[in-house]
Amino acid sequence: MITEPIECAIYTPDHGDRLRISVEYEGTWRPIFWIELAKDGSVYLSPRKNKIKELRHGKYALNDEQIRVLYSGGTEITDYEALKKAKLSFHGSGVINAPMGRMKRTPLRSIEGQELLCVVLFEYPSKFDSISQGAVRKRDVCLRYPVDEQSPLCAYVYVAPRERVVPAIHRSEAHQLTLMFQYSSTPEIEALTIQMVLCHGQQGSWPPFTYVLFEGS
């Protein structure tokens, strides 16, 4: 349970900036995730893996309090093009493009309040490629997050109109770090904020894959 102040960093990226989220591990930076908001309100994101050898998909219950995933479950995706272009996009129109096919959700262009976009369960940091200090880019978000060997790292990603952002507090977690990415308005969308909450809590085994969980129909 969180018993310390929660860190919250605020960024003001431009539309189209691909933000790379990295955590420090064994003296190097490990990019674990990237996210981008386009001018039309579409959100693009993916775990940061250079070579994806295996993809799986399945159905799970999703909420912003407790997530349970059976690591041995899921159906393998064997399509080569899906493996090569393994990213997830939430279009402003409400269309979701994912490796397993196309789905729908609430259009991001017209959201009125804060919504949970997805939840990410990360593999152990050693499974991600390392980069040196000299390879850090301008749009990298480098975090000295206190990785816990016994407690897997996860992230909750929310999107909201900037004036209706509600700081998400996950009180059951042992540690939380919040990132706020504030975007200006465009002719197509009002000013939006993407909120990413990194946290860890209950002890358990780290996932063998990185999971991205989201709602779609």
Question: Is 69 a domain residue?
Answer: yes
Q: What is the pTM of this model?
A: 0.89
Report CA 210 to chain centroid distance, whole Å: 10
Matching residue, tokens 């706020």: 180
What is the model's pLDDT at position 196?
98
Flag whether 106 is in a domain.
Answer: yes
pLDDT at 123: 93
φ, ψ of residue 93 in degrees (nearest 5): -75, -15
What pLDDT is attached to residue 212? 87
- Within-domain flag for 184: yes
164, part of any domain: yes
Residue 2, domain member (yes or no): no
Q: What does the chain come to in residues?
A: 217
Give domain status of residue 183, yes or no. Answer: yes
3-state secondary structure the chain: CCCCCCEEEEECCCCCCCEEEEEEECCEEEEEEEEEECCCCCEEEEECCCCCCCEEECCCCCCCCCCCCCCCCCEEECCHHHHHCCCEEECCCCEEEECCEEEECCCHHHCCCCEEEEEEECCCHHHCCCECHHHCCCCEEEECCCCECCECCEEEEEEEEHHHCCCCCCCCCCEEEEEEEECCCCCCCCCEEEEEEEEECCCCCCCCCCEEECCCC
Contact 151, 167 (CB under 8 A): no
**Domain coverage including residue 119:** 7-213
Domains of the chain: total: 1
Q: Is residue 120 part of a domain?
A: yes
Domain assignment present for 141: yes
In this prediction, residue 10 carries a pLDDT of: 96
**One pLDDT digit (tens) per residue for the chain, 217 residues:** 666 778 899 999 999 999 999 999 998 999 999 999 999 999 999 988 766 666 566 666 666 566 667 676 666 666 656 655 667 899 999 999 887 778 899 999 989 999 999 999 999 999 999 998 888 989 999 999 999 999 999 999 999 999 999 999 988 888 999 999 999 999 989 999 999 999 998 888 998 888 888 888 7
Locus of tokens 């540690």: 175
- Nearest-angstrom CA–CA distance, 128 and 105: 30
- What are residue 163's phi and psi, to 5 degrees? -75, -5
- Phi, psi values for residue 25, rounded to 5°: -150, 125
The pair of structure tokens assigned to 164 is 């209706």
pLDDT confidence of residue 115: 95
pLDDT of residue 108: 92
The pLDDT score that the predictor gives to residue 77 is 65
